[in-house]
Amino acid sequence: MDLRLDGKVALVTGASGGLGRHFAGVLAAAGATVVLAARRTEKLAEAVEEIGPGRAHAVPLDVTDPTSVTAAFEAAEAATGAVVDVLVNNAGLAKTAPALETSPQDWRTVLDTNLTGAFHVATEAAARMKAAGRAGSIVNIASIVGLRPAGAVASYAASKAGLIHLTKALALELARDDVRVNALAPGYIETDINAAFFATDAGQKLIKRIPQRRLGRMSDLDAPLLMLCSDASAFMTGAVVPVDGGHLVSSL
Ligand code: NAD
């Protein structure tokens, strides 16, 4: 079993903070040359410095803009001298509101980013892997909410359910080209952004509904991510891997 990524180029979208920044560090530690992609590259400078110049590169990317997606892959190839072998499709956002109070604009923003954006990035990556005749691994960062709904996040849940089905459709179409497409479906993972909420009564109540009675740590995702990115999962494609402390199997 080989979880190493030596000699591979990995691109992570939405890498300026949160899970994306963490994933870039994990992939670099496994030996990959990483390309951190985000709308504001100035926010990536520190991460590139920390990972190590030469082993990390920053490229501008707005996943909702197909022209920006193509330009990001061109910049990644120019910086690394190679085609991207591993894509972590991580960029995403949520708008919290009951379905009947979700504006058309918010619905579009969530779907444009989490589903259509992920489609643009995955197909751009796969086309380049295929043209270069290289095996590739695409990991879409979904959510357990794409498998089982939660209240007040209908747009997010629909986008992640769509991303899970897109994962399977792309896996089917790309299998013969040796491009694997899988999804990682995290449960509730503590990050800087949600830490304050989980400290509240409502947050604590939510944690009590998770069978393991705790939030996920970013590090809980490391091994599953490396498994899906590396040759360790050579015979896996179209799979959805939940990492959620048992949240999906919580008691009805
Ligand atoms: P986050 O908000 O810290 O990170 C999301 C990143 O995506 C940000 O850097 C943001 O700038 C970027 N992004 C948003 N729109 C973009 C666009 N148009 N183009 C390029 N980048 C864009 O949140 P996070 O918690 O780190 O989430 C990362 C991914 O993990 C998301 O897809 C999210 O849905 C998923 N996820 C997170 C959790 C969790 O508990 N934190 C659970 C399940 C799934």
**Band of residue 165 on the pLDDT scale cut at 50, 70, 90:** very high
Query: Is the confidence at residue 54, as pLDDT, over 80?
Result: yes
Atom of ligand 1 nearest to the CA of 215: 40
pLDDT at residue 1, rounded to an integer: 74
Catalogue all structural domains in the chain, each as residue range(s) with its CATH number.
9-236 (3.40.50.720)
Q: pTM, whole model, 2 decimals?
A: 0.99
Query: Is the confidence at residue 93, as pLDDT, over 80?
Result: yes
User: Ligand 1 in contact with 62 (CB < 6 A)?
Assistant: yes
pLDDT tens-digit profile of 187-234? Answer: 999 998 898 999 999 999 999 999 999 999 999 999 999 999 999 999
Chain mean pLDDT for the chain: 97
Query: Is the confidence at residue 159, as pLDDT, over 90?
Result: yes
Residues assigned a catalytic role? 156
Nearest residue (by CA) to ligand 1, atom 10, is 14
Distance between Cα 17 and ligand 1 center (Å): 8
Pocket test for ligand 1, best of 19, 70, 156, 241 (most atoms within 8 A of CB): 19
User: Ligand 1 in contact with 115 (CB < 6 A)?
Assistant: no
User: Ligand 1 in contact with 41 (CB < 6 A)?
Assistant: no
Query: Is the confidence at residue 127, as pLDDT, over 80?
Result: yes
**Band of residue 53 on the pLDDT scale cut at 50, 70, 90:** confident
User: Ligand 1 in contact with 14 (CB < 6 A)?
Assistant: yes
pLDDT tens-digit profile of 100-109? Answer: 999 999 999 9
User: Ligand 1 in contact with 19 (CB < 6 A)?
Assistant: yes
Cα 244 from Cα 214, distance rounded (Å): 10
